[in-house]
């Protein structure tokens, strides 16, 4: 089943996941709100089914799967600010976050 995937977080980990998902035939948008973070290329040219986007709300609105690839300390804020208001209700969310929240150790 081909999906419309939004990968939030365009660091090396998020970009690598986005490339793999696109190479497997999914329509993927790699999105990050930080200017200049979305890479032009990583490990060679991007697959043609991978698109770069700097406006996560618009990228999320078209997704039926969201992969969150941010540091764990930012997951709660991203969930509240982006996922809850912009992700379609039937969309799936996969956490690819790494690390722990320093204050809560969660």
Decide if 54 contacts 86 (C-beta within 8 A).
Answer: no
What pLDDT, in 10s, does the model give residues 56-73? 898 899 999 999 999 888
Q: Which CATH number fits domain 4-95: 2.160.10.10, 3.30.2020.30, 3.30.70.100, 3.40.50.720?
A: 3.40.50.720
Q: Residues, the chain, total?
A: 106
9: left (phi over 0), alpha (psi -120 to 50) or beta: left
What pLDDT, in 10s, does the model give residues 77-103? 999 998 899 999 999 999 999 888 888
Beta bridge partners of 8: 31, 68
Tell me phi and psi for residue 26, to 5 degrees: -85, 155
Distance CA 94, CA 14 (A): 12
pLDDT at 12: 86
- pTM across the whole model: 0.88
pLDDT at 47: 87
Q: Where are the domains of the chain?
A: 4-95
What pLDDT, in 10s, does the model give residues 30-49? 998 777 776 666 667 788 88
pLDDT at 3: 95
């Amino acid at each position: 089943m081909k999906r419309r995937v939004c990968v939030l977080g365009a660091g090396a980990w998020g970009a690598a996941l986005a490339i793999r998902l696109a190479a497997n035939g999914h329509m993927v948008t790699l999105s990050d709100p930080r200017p200049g973070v979305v890479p032009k290329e990583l490990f060679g040219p991007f697959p043609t089914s991978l698109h770069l986007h700097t406006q996560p709300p618009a990228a999320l609105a078209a997704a039926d799967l969201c992969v969150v690839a941010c540091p764990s300390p930012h997951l709660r804020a991203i969930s509240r600010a982006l996922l809850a208001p912009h992700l379609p209700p039937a969309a799936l969310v996969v956490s690819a976050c790494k690390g722990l929240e320093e204050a809560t150790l969660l």
